[in-house]
């Protein structure tokens, strides 16, 4: 009995620890002035505030940067994982660990490297996409690769023996069976690209300010209400992505 109470207490504590910051960001967005320990006045003043063109543009920019980055990342993650899983070539293991290496390096360091290495792209939208790509794609590739590597070689051989070409086997067998890893990669990619701060701070161009940059700027100037609204938008979009991907995954699961 005592063990059960202790376990319940630990779970409750951890849940509060995780949920509290998210709840407070939402509260920030609906409290006009937070002067007391517990807010006593609520309103949508900050939500109206973000209808200003600069903020709307930031929301648009975030979707464009995250969307384009995620498309590149997921396509690369799938194709790259396929090549690393099903083809053998010299130095494959070394190349794979090199490709994954940005995962273990600070985003700020990677961004600095990008600025120096790709001077012509400096201060462009493409540099922001490239930043996301370099940092996030290794993680997505890891997810997809670990899914693909679990597909038994007999399934692939069976497909070939039935007359299926490599492309047909890829689309009809490998892709559906790697679904879990690909969907996890999509969620991870959208989530990380939408909320990337350090990369965006290092690589952004004045015309392409994104939501995380505004959250940072509003926080430094003390306008926590706007930061709260943007944070809530990011949380909602991320949760919606997770639910949408889960829904699609279950609807087309079939097995």
Q: Which residues of 135-153 are buried (b: 16+ CB within 10 A; e: fewer)?
A: bbbbbbbbbbbebbeebee
How many residues bind other proteins, per CB under 8 A?
A: 21
Q: Does 100 bind other proteins (CB under 8 A)?
A: no
Alpha-carbon distance of 56 to 213, in angstroms, equals 13
Least gap, CB of 150 to other proteins (angstroms): 11
Q: Does 94 bind other proteins (CB under 8 A)?
A: no
**Span 135-164, contacts to other proteins by CB under 8 A:** 152-155, 157-164
Q: Does 67 bind other proteins (CB under 8 A)?
A: no
Other residues' Cβ atoms within 10 Å of the Cβ of residue 15: 10
Q: Which is closer to other proteins, CB of 41 or CB of 157?
A: 157
In sequence order, what are the residues at sequence separation of 6 or more whose Cβ sits closer than 8 angstroms to the Cβ of residue 127? 114, 115, 118, 121, 203, 205
Least gap, CB of 194 to other proteins (angstroms): 30
Q: For residue 254, is it left (φ>0), alpha (ψ between -120 and 50) or beta?
A: left
Q: Tokens in use for 173?
A: 């067998």
φ and ψ at 30, to 5 degrees?
A: -115, 10
Q: Which is closer to other proteins, CB of 52 or CB of 172?
A: 172
**Span 24-43, contacts to other proteins by CB under 8 A:** none
**Span 158-197, contacts to other proteins by CB under 8 A:** 158-166, 168, 172-173, 176-177
| Residues in contact with other proteins by the rule CB under 8 A | 152-155, 157-166, 168, 172-173, 176-177, 254-255
């Amino acid at each position: 009995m005592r063990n059960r109470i202790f376990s319940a207490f630990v779970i409750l504590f951890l849940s509060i620890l995780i949920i509290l910051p998210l709840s407070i960001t939402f509260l920030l967005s609906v409290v006009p002035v937070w002067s007391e320990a517990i807010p006593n006045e609520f309103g949508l003043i900050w939500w109206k505030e973000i209808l200003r063109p600069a903020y709307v543009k930031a929301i648009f920019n975030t979707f464009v940067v995250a969307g384009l980055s995620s498309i590149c990342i997921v396509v690369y993650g799938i194709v790259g994982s396929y090549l690393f899983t099903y083809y053998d070539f010299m130095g494959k293991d070394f190349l794979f660990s090199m490709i994954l290496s940005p995962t273990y390096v600070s985003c700020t360091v990677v961004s600095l490297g990008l600025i120096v290495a790709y001077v012509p792209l400096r201060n462009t939208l493409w540099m922001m996409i490239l930043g996301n790509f370099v940092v996030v794609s290794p993680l997505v590739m890891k997810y997809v690769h670990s899914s693909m590597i679990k597909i038994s070689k007999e399934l692939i051989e069976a497909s070939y023996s039935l007359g299926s070409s490599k492309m047909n086997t890829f689309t009809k067998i490998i892709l559906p069976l790697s679904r879990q890893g690909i969907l996890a990669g999509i969620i991870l990619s959208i989530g990380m690209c939408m909320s990337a701060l350090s990369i965006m701070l290092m690589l952004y161009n004045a015309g392409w300010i994104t939501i995380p940059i505004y959250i940072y700027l509003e926080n430094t100037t003390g306008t926590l209400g706007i930061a709260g609204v943007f944070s809530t938008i990011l949380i909602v979009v991320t949760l919606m992505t997770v639910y949408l991907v889960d829904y699609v995954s279950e609807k087309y699961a079939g097995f």
